Structure 1
């Protein structure tokens, strides 16, 4: 269970249950905000399912016999590039759903609000709040060892859903308390008002994930990783008497793609291939993070044009 795929499967199952629960109680209570919570959860579950598939492909691509020959031949560079695509799409969908809900909330307020059954609404909000916080804590504990971007996004999604449920619970309790009082006129506006507030709060949250996903898809170089690779390359140049080097670094989802070209002197002393391999091993150890998520290419040449 405490693997990335296992945690995502559990999250998907619970999310679908919460989504169905929200849609049903949204219809029973007449609350668009509850129905939106259910639709939000449904969209999140669909994208988490896609994330699970991508995660499984990335892990299997590191195993020599886990993928079919046809699939491996078509994706010889691996599946890491799919991860930022999924993360970016997930974040974008959550933003668009929240914008749609905000527009509907404003239209509802302009139309005089809507009546709802506060008893059903309070029961739903309290139940989902407990579930969301429980799943966020479960994901967080698991991800302390797994360190997955997919699970980080899933934690954010559960926290967002929990924040929605908490806001709904507070609003519905207020609405239930003012029913039959001189403030009873407020009750039709409670549902669209809380929906508008929640939507405005949700919209900025996935922006960071979308920004990072776009950076990964554009192969932007992480400054800290480039500095580390440059330091290792400079030390190697000095230690072995090379002329210079060229380093190319990118982060694609969980993968680090590193290419280093060392320019050596023409007519230099000959070295056996085993010696060059030993230098590569030294560089690889100095760079660190030797796992299936590191794509490291090291080349030696006397022609600098090969390194450009």
Structure 2
């Protein structure tokens, strides 16, 4: 299997194989989620450098240049087994695939130098390389004509859709914790082996980095931790662009926070006795433990109020609450 430098978004429809228990993966509606790729993938043959880096020479015809990859602190896995591999065991002339995150820094030198998030090695010729990505949507599956068979349909950030049934091998990365298909929640990073129909046979699950997730289903309903909290009619796109504004109270309370109103401070969101953040309507001045000095976080828009309901842009609110939102 050959990847281009940037993964090409594509959707695999599973309507003939399964029935999503929550919502049809192919359905669209007002405010339906449109994934944004979280990773860039580069591939090629490698050669060790004297300074410890790996020179990756991309295949002929690829619209890219060579790269120097640094391996310190990088997850290096065998492309077939998924087992960890020592950087010193990577052979010159072998094929590697490297995943670069959206925040990955790259030098302006020639060739560019970069530290990937994940490196897959020991790739056999013409092998269908597993996919590393972030889940942005999860829908329950029920098998047609197969009693007691269930699973999860997961949409990745590049638009790929995989079906992970309960009999698929699902295991955690470097721990003995028990994980199942039910742990494939939005915000989860996974490495998935799947056939051309999107049926996953094996999935490695990486540590979850969030307190929960905010997501939309195919009809534009807002979900917090897989539970529906708001219909499309209660959401707002006030600026005519891609920014989605969501009700602060509904989202924060569904995530387990308490929300109150104060004339002086505006909306106050607390985690127990700790003030997570406060913000006034028509303001971008947010204060609280979620925004320490020097954090560099800036709201993409002001807090809005309509019919007594206060709103924040979904990505901003997710950041303040420590939750995942991929929209």
More helix by share: 1
TM tier, smaller: under 0.3
**TM-score normalised to the size of structure 2?**
0.22
Larger radius of gyration, structure 1 or 2?
A: 1
More relative contact order, 1 or 2 (CA 8 Å, 6+ apart):
1
Flag the structure with higher strand content.
2
